[in-house]
């Protein structure tokens, strides 16, 4: 996928992991998603996300969908 | 989205990739050698190659032009094999061309297998080069498989006319029926290429999906 393809959605996975003191590796073990795919999500390179993935991540981080995914700011677009 | 192959499968794919690469190289080298031999034999004034020609089931009588003698009085010839000298370049090229075309076909198909294995290893089995490799392999098998039959048929007829014409073995012999198998295999590979092209579309749609 091209690096400059902006989806308009920002994933706050980094911020939520920092707040909870959790590593990407630990989240990967809990959720059952590979570190590669979590990294794709974290760096806003994902183009689509399964509801099952969304549910698992929100359950692991004890957050709402709106805490995890937000509209990207105009400068990011 | 890329497809990660399990380790045992990955080892098998790597082995297939290596084997197909070696076979493709060997096939093309052999084809080049056979092409050289073909042209040097065809245009050499004193050269000659072993040739096998079908003949009508003939009683085992001595044929002086071939210096052939029957081993048993009740035997029948259905084909003769000898070193053909004085065969025209055209007949020689037609008769022996399949010996050069067949390894070329093998090489192209092996390249297609190599391309598929490489892309499976990389996690992109439905890539464009794989679709093109399947299409080219199908065209090669259908084309060269059919051409070989036609070349052999024409070459054999010309060689029989040139070498056996006027001898007791020069009578009319029906040609072998056309084998449609290469065409069917070529069509099948073309359909598989279409399936992989559809898979490319699915892979593109699923790219970036987590």
- Three-state DSSP string of B8-46: HHHHHHHHHHHHHHHHHHHHHHHHHHHHHHHHHHHHCCC
Q: In whole angstroms, what separates CA B79 from the centre of its chain?
A: 22
For residues B124-148, give the mean pLDDT: 94
Give the span between the Cα atoms of B186 and B138, in whole angstroms: 4
Token representation of residue B176 = 């072998």
The more confidently predicted of residues B166 and B3 is B166
**Are the Cβ atoms of B207 and A47 closer than 8 angstroms?**
yes
CA distance, residue A40 to nearest chain B CA (Å): 8
Q: Is some CB atom of chain A closer than 8 A to the CB atom of B210? A: yes
CB contact under 8 A, A38 and B207: no
User: How far, rounded to the nearest angstrom, does the alpha carbon of residue A22 sit from its chain's CA centroid?
Assistant: 13
Are the Cβ atoms of A50 and B208 closer than 8 angstroms? Answer: no
Distances in whole angstroms, Cα of residue A19 to Cα of each of A28, A35, A36, A47, A63: 17, 19, 21, 25, 11
| Better-predicted residue by pLDDT, B151 or B69 | B151
The reported pLDDT for the residue numbered B132 is: 94
Q: What is the number of alpha carbons within 13 Å of residue B174 lying toward its C-beta?
A: 3
CA distance B97 to chain A (A): 47
Structure tokens that stand for B193 in this block: 């290429």
Inter-helix orientation angle B89-121/B128-159, to 10°? 160
**pLDDT (tens digit per residue) in B173-205:** 888 899 999 999 999 999 999 999 999 999 888
Q: Which residues of chain A neighbour B210 with C-beta distances below 8 Å?
A: 33, 37-38, 40-41, 46, 48-50, 53
Given a cut of 50, the residues of chain A with pLDDT beneath it are 1-4, 76-77
């Amino acid at each position: 996928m091209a690096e400059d393809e902006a989806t308009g959605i920002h994933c706050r996975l980094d911020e939520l992991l920092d707040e909870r003191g959790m590593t990407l590796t630990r989240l990967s073990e809990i959720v059952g998603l590979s570190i590669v795919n979590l990294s794709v999500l974290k760096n806003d390179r994902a183009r689509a996300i399964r509801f099952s993935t969304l549910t698992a991540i929100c359950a692991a981080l004890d957050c709402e969908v709106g805490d995890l995914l937000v509209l990207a700011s105009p400068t990011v677009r | 989205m890329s497809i990660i192959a399990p380790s045992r499968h990955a080892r098998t794919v790597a082995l297939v990739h290596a084997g197909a690469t070696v076979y493709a190289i060997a096939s093309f080298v052999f084809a080049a050698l056979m092409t050289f031999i073909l042209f040097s034999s065809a245009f050499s004034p004193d050269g000659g190659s072993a040739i096998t020609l079908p003949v009508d089931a003939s009683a085992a009588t001595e044929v002086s032009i071939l210096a052939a003698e029957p081993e048993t009085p009740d035997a029948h010839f259905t084909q003769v094999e000898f070193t053909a000298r004085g065969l025209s370049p055209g007949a020689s090229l037609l008769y022996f061309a399949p010996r050069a075309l067949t390894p070329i076909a093998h090489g192209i198909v092996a390249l297609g297998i190599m391309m598929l294995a490489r892309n499976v290893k990389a996690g992109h089995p439905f890539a464009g080069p794989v679709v093109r490799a399947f299409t080219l392999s199908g065209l090669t098998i259908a084309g060269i498989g059919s051409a070989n039959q036609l070349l052999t048929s024409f070459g054999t007829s010309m060689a029989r006319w040139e070498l056996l014409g006027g001898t007791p073995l020069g009578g009319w012999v029906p040609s072998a029926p056309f084998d449609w198998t290469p065409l069917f295999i070529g069509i099948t590979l073309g359909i598989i290429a279409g399936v992989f092209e559809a898979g490319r579309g699915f892979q593109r749609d699923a790219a970036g999906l987590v």
